[in-house]
């Protein structure tokens, strides 16, 4: 049985080892350049850090003065533990789901996160521009960025600060979302902000047999207790249904997890220092500046220091009503395909946060419904039918938002 060309191109994209910490961006850029040539798209590459290309494939609109549409995706993928995979993670094995071969699973790192999205953009443009010979009112830019999986600091963060980004005159961006085991389509209009904080306490030292006062542990433990109580309070909020009886999502609460704990040299020596690191994800409903001040005051109150390893200070969200001129068109295109829209705050961090802070409305959506969440997991896969449906989805959505007057 022959493989559809769109599927074969997807397999080729998946086989490019853009895996951290040494992603093959060079081969990936060549692949994207070939796609641009086949589709008749303008092609440009800019490196804000050497070896980390931002690739842009542009489809000029009939009214290029209007704010453009950005179709964003990242090209890098997370590392793998190959011994836990049933198939080599960069072979993109195509495995039949039944004896008749009615569908196939394509196993590969990055299949869900997020090469199905980037490839879906390009195949949708292929259909609209090449096969149907349609024109869009607004210019469409398919943007492929590096290093999202390690924070995007050398990719999207620098890109949105550049003159090249300003020249795009972006009006709306689409970006990655997440699969949903349920029937609804998850559309993310904001995301929780990372606060990675390390508390460091120093105190008196001495023999472990003595009652030594003012130790590092005495100072650190109340801080840990305070944050674990915050965690418990937020967990109870998360478990409490909304007034309409529906389940809350992680985006509505702030999570706090103790992820690093360090102290001591041996059992009979009271340590001079102790530290605890927390991964906190703040809901956009929180006042981030006030939250940071509270953590600093907590440390000071107990004679410790607060070191912020990472702190995101912007809680911008994208309007999902008629105040956003693109939302009605987006929603119509989605519901016309039979999807129920589930609006959510993304529980972790994506490159959309840089776009929103730059003033560009961004919607995160990966059209995988009734599908397991496999990002960063062993045996990551998408079904061939899901890829083909994603192409249909993006063709409809791009045509809708790129023709908003």
Active site residues: 76, 148
Size of the chain, expressed as the number of residues it contains: 405
Q: Which of 273, 274, 288, 295 is nearest to 197 (CA)?
A: 295
Q: Which secondary-structure segment (H or E) carries 186?
A: strand 185-191
| Helix ranges (DSSP H) in 190-245 | 216-239
Per-residue tokens: 80 = 């793998």
Q: Yes or no: say if 245 and 276 are a contact pair by the CB < 8 Å rule.
A: no
Q: Yes or no: say if 394 and 59 are a contact pair by the CB < 8 Å rule.
A: no
Q: Which secondary-structure segment (H or E) carries 383?
A: strand 381-383
Alpha-carbon torsion (117, 123, 125, 127), positive or negative: negative
- Burial of 213-243, coded b for 16+ CB within 10 Å and e otherwise, reads eebbbbbbeebbebbeebbeebeeeeeeeee
Q: Yes or no: say if 71 and 140 are a contact pair by the CB < 8 Å rule.
A: yes
Our CA dihedral for 88, 91, 92, 97, rounded to 10 degrees, sits at -60
Residue carrying structure tokens 């024109």: 135
Q: What does DSSP say about strands 185-191 and 341-346: parallel, antiparallel, or unpaired?
A: parallel
């Amino acid at each position: 049985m022959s493989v559809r060309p769109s599927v074969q191109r997807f397999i080729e994209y998946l086989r490019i080892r853009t895996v951290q910490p040494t992603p093959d961006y060079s081969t990936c850029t060549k692949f994207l350049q070939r796609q641009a040539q086949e589709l008749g798209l303008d092609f440009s590459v800019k490196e804000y850090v050497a070896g980390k290309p931002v690739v842009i494939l542009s489809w000029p609109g009939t009214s290029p003065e209007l704010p453009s549409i950005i179709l964003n995706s990242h090209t890098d993928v997370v590392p793998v533990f190959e011994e836990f995979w049933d198939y080599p993670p960069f072979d993109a094995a195509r495995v039949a789901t039944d004896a008749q071969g009615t569908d196939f699973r394509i196993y590969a790192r990055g299949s869900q996160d997020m090469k199905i999205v980037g490839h879906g953009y390009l195949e949708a443009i292929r259909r609209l521009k090449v096969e149907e010979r349609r024109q869009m009112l607004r210019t469409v830019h398919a943007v492929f960025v590096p290093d999202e999986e390690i924070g995007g600091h050398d990719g999207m963060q620098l890109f949105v600060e550049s003159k090249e980004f300003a020249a795009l005159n972006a009006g709306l961006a689409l970006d990655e979302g997440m699969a949903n085991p349920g029937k609804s389509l998850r559309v993310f209009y904001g995301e929780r902000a990372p606060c990675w904080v390390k508390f460091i306490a120093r105190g008196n030292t001495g023999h472990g047999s003595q009652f030594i006062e003012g130790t590092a542990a005495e100072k650190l433990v109340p801080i840990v207790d305070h944050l674990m109580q915050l965690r418990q309070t937020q967990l109870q909020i998360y478990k409490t249904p909304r007034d309409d009886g529906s389940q809350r999502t992680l985006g509505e609460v702030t999570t706090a997890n103790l992820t690093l704990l360090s102290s001591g040299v041996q059992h009979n020596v009271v340590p001079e220092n102790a530290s605890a690191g927390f991964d906190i994800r703040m809901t956009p409903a929180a006042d981030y500046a006030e939250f940071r001040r509270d953590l600093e005051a907590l440390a000071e109150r107990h004679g410790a220091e607060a070191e912020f390893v990472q702190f995101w200070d912007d809680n911008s969200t994208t309007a999902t009503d008629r105040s956003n001129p693109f939302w009605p068109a987006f929603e119509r295109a989605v519901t016309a395909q039979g999807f129920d829209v589930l609006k959510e705050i993304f529980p972790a961090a994506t490159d959309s946060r840089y776009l929103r802070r730059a003033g560009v409305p961004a919607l995160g959506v990966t059209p995988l419904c009734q599908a397991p969440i496999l990002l960063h997991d062993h045996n990551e896969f998408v079904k061939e039918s899901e890829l083909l449906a994603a192409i249909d989805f993006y063709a409809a959505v791009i045509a809708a938002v790129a023709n908003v007057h």
